[in-house]
A and B are shown apart, each in its own frame.
Chain A
Amino acid sequence: MTGTQIAFTLNGRPLTLPPGTSPTVTLLDWLRGPAALTGTKEGCAEGDCGACTVVLEQPDGARLPVNACLTLLGQLHGRAVRTVEGLRGGDGAAHPIQVAMAESDGTQCGFCTPGIVMSAWAHGRQGGDLHEALAGNLCRCTGYRPIVEVFGALADDSAAPPALAAPGPARFEAPGQVFHLPASLPGLLALRAAHPGAWLLAGGTDLNLRISDHREQPAEVICLLNVPELHALEATAAGLRIGAATPYARLLDAVRAEMRLSALSGLLARLGSRQIRGLGTLGGNLGTASPIGDALPPLVALGAVVTVASARGMREVPVERFLTGYRSNDLAADEVVVSVLLPWPPAGAHLGFEKISKRHDQDIATVGAAMLVRVEGGVTVEARLAFGGVAATVVRASGAEAALLGRPFDAAAVAAAAEALAGDIAPLSDWRGSAAYRLAVAQGLLHRLHLRATRPDLPAEVAEIEEVA
């Protein structure tokens, strides 16, 4: 049966929204407006400050912090959300995390605090690096020290995950709007063929800015979140098959568990924030084809292949051909990205997946780089160098690659490649960096690759320096 009303669980209680509720209202606006739950704050409405952080409670017990400003009501159908108001115990007592944050001077103005508390609640269960857990939450008052201390001493609570049934296909209508939630690939492809102008919405961390920030009201949306075929995450003989709607959070977990891709985990851990990775998808980055998408240079350097489908059939496209220009790609109006095959890097290759930005965490790349250099018999036999942020789309540095091939991978070769790189890329100047800086950094990253290859005993970047005594 096709659902016609948005239904989700809020703070442990099932809820069905009235017919006609706009499915493209952001969760943040809905919480602060009709739901009168004002604990969740708006700091930026662009997914960068974290003041609106709420948690999606997964049936497997996982807790995904997400930005309520970038989450639409329609995307929540069949899911469970917890807000800061939902942390109190049954007896009305504040949650131990709330008490700890208060007792530790973790608040000053308090405006960022509800979002930080929600990130902490998720982190208590998810674990991992605490700065990674905090990357999506900005605090302007405290200097973070007390907050970091609270995050460092978190314990999980025993709150049980919600029991959620997989929702069937749904279609929500509101005045002037239709929001489709297909539940199968054939269903999706049929909808896409019928509505080629509709927004194709996965996590929405880019697309939903048009609503949160620019207040657009899309007439037609096809949401990919409930199509199981798009959620693949499978190690095959050829490589890792990544469903287009697999959130980066899951991809990062998989990459961390896969030795062959471990070099990629550092970069993926800096893609957005936990809030962004909870929703954002590789399919989305390919769909928007932005040259500064963090994940695209690795796809190009590793020679990923994109599988696209339509009601007419499926086809496979090498990612370099898929990305055709500035925010443009080789996707027909009736097609969707189904998955990406990320080939395993050749054994023994030198790999560098780098991102240079003004701030280490949760920033957009000034320059992104993915570099693969394979040396056999003392000479470089394969070089694949992909750069983002230096041209209209992610580019291969063919001149630099040629400068490396067929000779030893030594300082002289790297210097020659760096020189050739100037002819490969055509960066622009903007607020993230000047053209001259972008070139200098791209060249510097070639040297860093060489440093990593030749001096694995040394820290290769500032983030690797241990705390000083």
Chain B
Amino acid sequence: MDGGQNLPRVPAEPGLPRKGAGAALRHDSALKHCTGEARYADDLAEAPGTLHAVLVHSPLPHGRLRGIDAAAALAMPGVVAVLSARDIPGENDVAPAGKGEPLFAESLVEFAGQPVAMVLAATRDQALRAAAAVQPRIEPLEPVLTIEQALAREQYVVAPQHIRRGDAAAAIAAAPRSLSGELRAGGQEHFYLEGQIALATPGEDGEMAVVSSTQHPSEGQHIVARVLGLPYSRVTVTCRRMGGGFGGKESNASWIAAAAALGARVSGKPVKLRLTRRADMIATGKRHPFLYRWTAGFDDTGRILALDALLAADGGWSTDMSGGVVFRAITHALNCCDVPAVALTCLAAKTNTVSHTAFRGFGGPQGALLMEDVVHRVAAALRLPPEQVRARNFMGAEGNGSELPYGQAVEGDLIARVWAETRRDADWDRRRASIDAFNAQHPTLRRGLGSMVLCFGISFGAMHLNQAGALVHVYSDGSIRLNHGGTEMGQGLFVKVAQVVADAFGVGMERIRVTATNTAEVPNTAPTAASTGSDLNGWAAHNAATAIRGRMAEVAAKRWSIAPEAVVFADDRAWAERVGANRFLEFGELARLCFMERVSLSATGFYRTPDIHWDREKMRGRPFFYFSYGAAVSEVVVDTLTGEHRCLRTDIVQDCGRSLNPAVDRGQIEGAFVQGQGWLTCEELWWDAGGRLRTVGPSTYKIPGSRDVPPAFNVRLLDGAPARSETIFRSKAVGEPPLLLATAVWNALKDAIGVDSLDLPATPERVLMALRHKG
């Protein structure tokens, strides 16, 4: 790919291919990351006259916007304009789905941090100082700040959704035992290291070109067009790479792009909008916090017979993508367990808080917490190990069903397998004994062991998003240019898709140039999200590449008077009938020949995920193309004097099908686990009584550091388990599922301190207070 950077690592890991699909190639930009040459949006040279935009935020969580005093700001040096809702030529609506989410507040402010205006100035410092001088006049209204308050008012951004099977109430009443629980889980700031940014440049006839750090260029294009009142064809959005996304640069990146574009439209100049970390943290959405209330019926063996549960998300002030989060939470609420009778209700409450949004897992991790809470409380009530209770209820285990209550079956053998292998890798029984021995002799420290088994559905819940396009050109020198709708946020999508294309053409990676994602090259794309990036774009690129390869084969076949099917592409050559035959053409030679023969060497590729459907009325269907499985065991140690804790060891087995790139996949597993660990332990969003977020930077919001990673961290990809669905080269998605594995740390903490439940995040404070509460 880039200047020969992507040679196979030496020594190659034994047994793995050295090139093409399945090779453990490093990230295509790895060396450029390390030398500082990889360019992010803020690194591009600014055109002369570029203006800088800074947002003005509401200081109050709820109120009537009576006006905006901008005179002082307008008089400050360098200030060009102060823009607000009335300056918008198109619609003041940036809702990614549905309607009614203004870019700038009009008459109502609905959260502290909401953009009410935007300053344009010659320098960023001038714009920052001027923005601080803009005074929104707001008449306060009573805010709704908690899920409980919103539930009491029946105030929702997503109305309650239900999945039912059997008669849960009757089954609970009939069960030998029953138990109720309540649990709270906090949200999570994405904390991508590169904050939100867009650079908009106006062109002819209303055209707008936007460089955006976005996971969803097409949506950015649509929202810019909506705000400016333009057809989509006049707007181009480009993204070469992001400095992290994690879901935070889907809908949030779109409104940032729209705000920059509005500035460019009004001023006629290029406008850069780069949020300060503080602005990013107060104005952009986060992972949804959840409140759970449940009642379960079970028997003395730990078999859970019935579950009635409410999963209430805090949606924040607007809908954003909460519908999708609710869908994923409710479809993952049983995780890997079979419960015969269920009544699940999931909703997103409307509060005067920033609008919560996509975050790696998209409600799935929150859904899975429910079942873990149930399993652990049931186990505690029966004085059984929680692992035994969970396994007793595994889907597909003896006597259990393997169909989720919405009608889709999972592969119980893989659930059993990942758990058995992880338990073995973790040396469970020996360590259980040594932990108990430690706890018996230490006066203040307590160790604990916990586990997690996950079952995560892969496909967008919004069925129409399960499509992708690619554009492949072979040039007459045999070099290949690859473009697709997926975006690169560090997850290694570009290298994986390039591996697919290299495999299709039988060429080396150095031949392939992956180019920036651009709405003008591949239109009408889905976001890079839901772990589907390589599944969707890999197939689309493969389809494009094989279309060209077919035409090239015909040219070669004609020359050799053989059937096109008999042309083999390998080792950067086209061969007559077999690799190593004495008739062959260098790939570049064949490309040149195609050009001389007037054969097209360019193709688009398209892919739509087959065999998926979902009935939103009945809440039934087969929404996922397949499921991903994984398991983890974590050991922790807790200080009972202070609540401080550490994860000492984690063992993971994760199903990646037949991995497209084991090095990239391992990185995704490790990174997701640690990110999940942060969500569940040290990352705490803290709003004050006035509804203002007070954890607004890394000094107050603590993501894991290197010492927080388990010092023994054993990660293994499940062996010999090619995907059973027809995925690209039988690989499986890996972006999100392993985040759920961090739940093992939560479970280990409960084990260490001897409690059956623990609200999240399990900060040292919550751990100590849970200990005190237990007495």
**Chain A interface (Cβ within 8 Å of chain B)?**
32, 36-49, 51, 83-85, 87-88, 94, 97-99, 101-103, 105-114, 117, 130-131, 134-135, 137-148, 213, 215, 356-364, 366, 430-434, 436-437, 440-441, 444-445, 447-448, 451, 455, 458-463, 465, 467-469
Contacts and interface: CB of A to CB of B under 8 A. Distances in A.
11 contacts: A36-B45, A38-B43, A39-B35, A44-B277, A102-B31, A107-B27, A113-B33, A358-B684, A358-B764, A359-B708, A360-B708
A111 B194 contact: yes
B644 A364 contact: no
Contacts of B193: 41, 43, 49, 51, 109, 111-112, 138-140
Which of B129, B635, B638 gathers the greatest number of chain A CB atoms within 10 Å? B129
Nearest to A112: B193
Contacts of A357: 702
B638 A109 contact: no
Given A110-B29, A448-B642, A461-B639, A49 B698 contact: yes
A134 B709 CA distance: 12
Interface stretch (B163-171, B439-447, B550-558): B439-447
Nearest to B635: A468
A102 B445 contact: no
B376 interface: no
B444 A447 contact: yes
A83 B36 CA distance: 9
A358 to B, nearest CB: 5
Contact of A144 (B40, B686, B706): B706
Interface residues of B, number: 94
A243 B768 CA distance: 39
A462 B33 CA distance: 35
A154 B129 CA distance: 43
A86 B6 CA distance: 24
A462 B707 CA distance: 12
Given A49-B193, A114-B34, A462-B637, A437 B241 contact: no
Contact of A364 (B34, B442, B699, B705): B699
Contact of A117 (B34, B242, B442): B34
B143 interface: no
Interface string B640-656: 01111110110000000
Contacts of B563: none
A40 B242 CA distance: 16
Given A141-B490, A468-B635, A101 B706 contact: no
B241 A109 contact: yes
A98 B443 contact: no
A465 B712 CA distance: 13
B391 interface: no
A40 B43 CA distance: 10
B31 A437 contact: no
A139 B277 CA distance: 15
Closest CB pairs A-B (n = 7): A39-B36, A109-B490, A110-B33, A111-B243, A444-B641, A143-B670, A108-B490
Contacts of B33: 101-102, 107, 109-110, 113-114
Contacts of B37: 39
Q: Is the interface of B mostly helix, strand, loop or mixed?
A: loop
A416 to B, nearest CB: 17
Nearest to A442: B642
B128 interface: yes
A369 to B, nearest CB: 10
Nearest to B645: A462
Contact of B35 (A44, A45, A98, A358): A98
A459 B671 contact: no
Given A40-B36, A94-B31, A431 B490 contact: no
A109 B194 contact: yes
Contacts of A47: 699
Nearest to B488: A109
B769 interface: yes
Contacts of A463: 646
B34 A101 contact: yes
B583 interface: no
Interface string B224-246: 00000000000000000111111
A208 B37 CA distance: 28
Contacts of B445: 459, 461-462, 465
Interface string B1-44: 00001000100000000000000001101111111111110110
Contacts of A146: 667
Given A102-B30, A142-B667, A459-B442, 12 more contacts: A37-B36, A42-B42, A43-B195, A109-B243, A144-B674, A145-B709, A215-B125, A356-B642, A432-B700, A462-B637, A465-B637, A467-B712
Nearest to B443: A451
Contact of A135 (B43, B241, B664, B706): B706
